[in-house]
Chain A
Amino acid sequence: MDIIPWDLSIIPQKFFLFASAATYTLQITFFGILMGLLIGLVVALGRLSEKKFLSSISRAYIFLIRGTPLLVQLFIVYYGLTSIVTIDPIPSAVIALGVHNGAYIAEIFRGSIQSIHYGQMEAARSIGMTHAKAMRRIILPQAFKRAVPSLGNQLIIALKDSSLASTIAVPELMLKGRQMGSSTFMYMEMFIIVGIWYLIMTSVLSFVMHRIEERLKVSDRD
């Protein structure tokens, strides 16, 4: 009998069979986060708007999305909406991830926009900029820079959360692991492979985010 009941040598053998599943994971994460960034920016600006109507909707959106599990949101998009419109698994996963992350990213952006000293807005207005232009040229570039560490964090969370897409038959890493497990009965080995793939991807993402942070530091040097 072996000391451990698993055949770890199978891991390198089967490792690259998961590559195409990993591309699905990356794909839904990438487009989900992209959508999340757009929603997040709009909702953050809405939340900070002086117009009661806009800030109320934004607040309600954040309340609903942050207060319910991603899995519920995913099922609502994929199963719940079928009576109105049928959305394929991959777009469903992207939409659910985008809507979900949009709420968190909105709060990240709101915090970083509010952290910019009001003197910046005043200085911009004092040279005749409109509020919108001052936001775009002066406030948002600085706020975005401050948001980068938190956005990196959110990106990694989103990458791991994308595993929930396995429940609606997106052929991503987690689903691949389950399929390989049930066909070989080597669940431990297969899920270790899945874990390693996630680790590699999150490591690369952290490294990239770190590089972006460093690059954005040019104007801080003193």
Chain B
Amino acid sequence: MSDPDAPIVRIEGLCKWYGELEVLKNIDLEVKRGEVVVVIGASGSGKSTLLRCINFLEKTQKGKIYISGKRIKHNEKELNKTRQELGMVFQHFNLFPHMTVAGNVMEGLVQVKKMPKDKARKKAEVLLERVGLLEKADVYPAMLSGGQKQRVAIARALAMEPKVMLFDEPTSALDPELVGEVLTVMTKLAKEGMTMLVVTHEMWFAKEVADRVIFMDDGIILEEATPEKMFSAPENERTLAFLKQILPPSSEE
């Protein structure tokens, strides 16, 4: 059923409405194994919705979603399994405030994967080490900075050993000085070969880390290119207008 050579994520003709409003219009997208795809676009362009549709946090009305070649249907049982393969990192972290940092990372391992607690704890420690927060293992999320919270959230998602990590504006809720530490962790992940689909406004990350950049506008994928091409010579006028707005004028290298 699941084909090792198939793209990790494949979306065909995805449509999504909120009532009358069509937020995703016939989206086709593929993310191959080991690929880092960054989705950019103005707010309201549907990029977060697209990401949330992939693991069915949003219901879609039309279209097909395949994970490793296997068609995912909106069926509770199947979804609970599929979601483990899709690591999700949220804009607002959504850490579990009543559990310690290690508890957050262990939760899925113990409750979903039924791993014994001591083993899960060891695994959590390895992951926290990876995001540089091992010394915070036993504190509660309320004591962490935003950047630290997001790194814990990344560790929590990684714990499930997902096939792909979905990042939904992971740095948008952070103070500017905390953005770097999260992007550093993400860059490291990308270098280690993790398949990633990232919705972000961090153009630096798109430029430096992405294999492919997708520009979304008004519910469609307007342009898709390598970062070099996207940022130096975008084909579409709207892409150009968007990039002009968000990139500082001095950034023409």
**What is A's interface to B at a CB cutoff of 8 Å?**
117, 119-120, 122-131, 133, 137-138, 141-142, 145, 218-222
Please name all residues of chain B whose beta carbon is closer than 8 Å to the beta carbon of A220 when the two chains form the complex. 97, 140, 142
B142 touches A130 (CB 8 A): no
Q: Chain B's nearest CB lies how many Å from the CB of A189?
A: 50
B94 touches A122 (CB 8 A): yes
Please name all residues of chain B whose beta carbon is closer than 8 Å to the beta carbon of A222 when the two chains form the complex. 142-143
Q: Other CB < 8 Å A-B pairs besides A123-B156, A128-B80, A130-B80, 8 of them? A: A117-B94, A122-B90, A123-B94, A127-B84, A128-B83, A129-B80, A142-B96, A219-B98
**Complex formed: what's the CA distance from A34 to B118 in Å?**
35
Please name all residues of chain A whose beta carbon is closer than 8 Å to the beta carbon of B111 when the two chains form the complex. 129, 133, 137
In the complex, number of A-B residue pairs with CB atoms less than 8 Å apart: 77
Please name all residues of chain B whose beta carbon is closer than 8 Å to the beta carbon of A131 when the two chains form the complex. 76
**Complex formed: what's the CA distance from A222 to B145 in Å?**
10
A127 touches B140 (CB 8 A): no
B55 touches A126 (CB 8 A): yes
Contacts A219-B97, A219-B140 given; does A128 touch B84 at CB 8 Å: yes
When the two chains form the complex, which single residue of B55, B84, B97, B156 contacts A142, counting CB atoms closer than 8 Å? Answer: B97
**What is B's interface to A at a CB cutoff of 8 Å?**
55, 57, 76, 80-81, 83-84, 86-88, 90, 92, 94-99, 107-108, 111-112, 140-143, 153, 156-157, 159-160
Most chain B CB inside 10 Å of its own CB: which residue of A138, A142, A145: A138
**Complex formed: what's the CA distance from A221 to B99 in Å?**
13
Closest to B143 in A: A222
Most chain B CB inside 10 Å of its own CB: which residue of A119, A127, A133, A222: A127
Closest to B84 in A: A128
**Complex formed: what's the CA distance from A131 to B56 in Å?**
13
Please name all residues of chain A whose beta carbon is closer than 8 Å to the beta carbon of B95 when the two chains form the complex. 123
B108 touches A218 (CB 8 A): no
A130 touches B84 (CB 8 A): no
A219 touches B57 (CB 8 A): no
Closest to B77 in A: A130
